[in-house]
């Protein structure tokens, strides 16, 4: 029986049968496949896929922007899954035609998309052993967030730094913006998903907390430029959430969201 499912670009993706040989073109997709219980269907991953540990032995096909089509074809996939905020319908169709297999595209614009995408993997593979646990984790996370917030639904003013040079930050319109909102933070950035801003503009907005990423050892990235003059930096209110817990829209975001909520509402 053919499998038909609509992806996040509104494209109808049709498979003659449940997918059994999947190439993942994003680290988040790789995690979704494992969280759905379909890890055995993975035959190829990107250079950046590093979680869970079981994927380390899988063949690498480059990354989404520079994939090796020869390697991908040699792996004989029956489905390719992409997560990208920039891919167009035409690009997805071109990739599908070049490889001769269906391409399913995911767009991660909210926390809710995580559960949706794990469900989609279950529908594409017919494997649902991990679905119930994933959805339970998401529900429990939201309940925990509400308990932490208590009567105070709005917390500290927050700046989430994606990169310092050039200065890119998390805006309200993307996945990270939704995480900040769910955690009860006041995002000082009011437009865009990942806008580039000036240090001068940030100075005027005066965040209470600066959120930065971590290196591979879990240490916070150090601010080295003008942001060091911010009040939050001078008062040592720079917080770090491990990259895997927020940087990727996966089930690990559950722990990152809870941690961020505690940071925002600390002392309130």
Give per-10-residue mean pLDDT for the chain (268 aa): 95 97 97 97 96 95 91 98 94 96 96 97 96 97 94 81 93 94 95 95 94 74 88 91 80 94 77
- Alpha helix positions (H), 164-246: 175-183, 199-205, 231-234, 243-246
**pLDDT for the residue 265:** 86
Any idea of the CA torsion for 258, 260, 261, 266, to the nearest 10 degrees?
A: 120
The CA-atom distances, in angstroms, between 36 and each of 4, 11, 121, 150 are 18, 22, 6, 32
**pLDDT for the residue 153:** 62
**pLDDT for the residue 71:** 96
**Nearest CA to 178 among 258, 251, 109, 243?**
109
Q: What share of residues in the chain are helix, strand, coil (percent, to 5)?
A: 40, 20, 40
CB neighbours of 144 closer than 8 A, spacing ≥ 6?
Answer: 258, 261
CATH number attached to the domain at 3-129: 3.40.50.1980
Lookup result for tokens 């169709």 = 93
**pLDDT for the residue 215:** 65
d(CA 239, CA 212): 6
Residue 214 DSSP code: B
State the sign of the Cα–Cα–Cα–Cα dihedral 203, 206, 207, 208.
positive
Spatial contact of 83 and 8, defined as CB atoms under 8 Å apart: no
CB neighbours of 228 closer than 8 A, spacing ≥ 6?
Answer: 234
Neighbouring-strand partners of residue 252: none
**pLDDT for the residue 17:** 97
**pLDDT for the residue 224:** 85
CATH number for domain 152-264, candidates 2.40.10.10, 3.40.50.1980, 3.30.1490.100, 2.40.50.140: 3.40.50.1980
H or E element that contains 72: helix 69-74
CA 111 to chain centre: 9
**What are the residue boundaries of the structural domains of the chain, listed by start?**
3-129, 152-264
CB neighbours of 74 closer than 8 A, spacing ≥ 6?
Answer: none
**pLDDT for the residue 263:** 87
For the chain, the straight-line distance linking the first and the last C-alpha, in angstroms and rounded, comes to 55
Q: Hey, do 3-129 and 152-264 end up sharing a CATH topology, with the first three levels equal?
A: yes
Threshold 0.85, pTM exceeds:
yes
């Amino acid at each position: 029986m053919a499998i038909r499912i609509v992806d996040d670009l509104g494209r109808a993706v049709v498979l003659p049968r449940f997918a059994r040989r999947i190439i993942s073109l994003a680290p988040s997709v790789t995690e979704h496949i494992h969280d759905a219980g379909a890890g055995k269907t993975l035959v190829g991953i990107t250079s950046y896929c590093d979680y869970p540990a079981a994927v380390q032995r899988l063949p690498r096909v480059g990354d989404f922007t520079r994939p090796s089509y020869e390697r991908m074809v040699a792996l004989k996939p029956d489905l390719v899954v992409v997560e990208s905020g920039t891919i167009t319908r035409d690009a997805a169709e071109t990739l599908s035609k070049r490889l001769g297999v269906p391409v399913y595209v995911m767009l991660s614009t909210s926390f809710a998309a995580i559960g949706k995408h794990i469900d989609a993997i279950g529908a594409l593979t017919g494997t649902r052993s991990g679905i119930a646990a994933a959805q339970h984790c998401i529900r429990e996370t939201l309940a925990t967030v509400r308990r932490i917030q208590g009567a105070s639904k709005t917390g500290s003013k927050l700046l989430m730094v994606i990169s310092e040079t050039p200065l890119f930050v998390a805006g309200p319109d993307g996945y990270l913006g939704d995480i900040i909102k769910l955690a009860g933070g006041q995002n000082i950035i009011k437009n865009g998903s990942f806008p580039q801003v000036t240090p001068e503009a940030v100075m005027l907005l005066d965040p209470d907390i600066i959120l930065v990423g971590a290196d591979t050892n879990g240490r916070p990235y150090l601010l080295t430029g003008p942001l060091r003059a911010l009040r939050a930096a001078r008062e040592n209110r720079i917080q770090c959430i491990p990259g895997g817990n927020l940087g990727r829209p996966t089930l690990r975001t559950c722990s990152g969201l809870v941690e961020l909520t505690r940071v925002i509402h600390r002392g309130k």
